[in-house]
Amino acid sequence: MIDLLVATTNAGKFAEVSAFLAPLPIRILSLRDLDDPPAVLEDGATFEANALKKARSLADFSGLLTLADDSGLEVDALGGAPGIFSARYCGVEGDDQENNRKLLRELAGVARADRGARFVCALALCAPRARAMADWTVQASCNGLINFELSGTQGFGYDPLFFYPPFKKTFGEIDRVTKATVSHRGLALKKLVAALPKLVDLAG
């Protein structure tokens, strides 16, 4: 069994990743398991660049195989915003309530047909340099619409505003297991699970 550091303090993200990786012989750790991990400045121009920077920095710091993600919401009517700034759209990192309020204000008066959006997730897997493993990345997305009001208490972030037409519900109204079958992070994690045995000796 090998150790895998999931580079997040977001409980929702950690739960989603852990659920996907549970069938594999992996001990999953979070940043909360490390002593004073460095804060990584997410200053990349893309989701992939930010995910890679986090994974590389924390793999070097911890000496562990490290998985990092960067994800966010791209809204067509806003030219792709909030994009890589999704978590701090309101100016405060991780304030879901204010981020959602700002998004609704920005889309006030925009017709339903013009409220197209997508969730995007980039994953990066990096090993300590001594292992000489090439960095691995993958990206996936999920298309939907921005609802006119918050609906549902499941999930986190923009989930209560992200309406997924095939289910006729927001992600906030869908349980985590069902959401994972279609979500941006779920699709990216499926690719990770398929690739991981080829990238790493899971027997340790």
Instruction: Indicate which residues carry an active-site annotation.
Output: 70
Average pLDDT over residues 14-40: 89
Q: What is the pLDDT of residues 98-153, one digit of tens each?
A: 999 999 999 999 999 999 999 999 999 999 888 878 899 999 999 999 999 999 99
Domains in the chain (CATH in brackets) are 2-199 (3.90.950.10)
Q: What is the pLDDT of residues 37-67, one digit of tens each?
A: 998 988 999 999 999 999 999 999 999 999 9
Task: Tell me whether residue 34 is exposed, middle or buried, using C-beta atoms within 10 angstroms of its C-beta: 0 to 12, 13 to 18, 19 or more.
Answer: middle
Strand runs (DSSP E) across the chain, as ranges? 2-6, 26-30, 65-75, 116-126, 136-146, 162-164, 169-170
Kindly indicate the confidence band of residue 204, based on its pLDDT and cuts at 50, 70 and 90. low
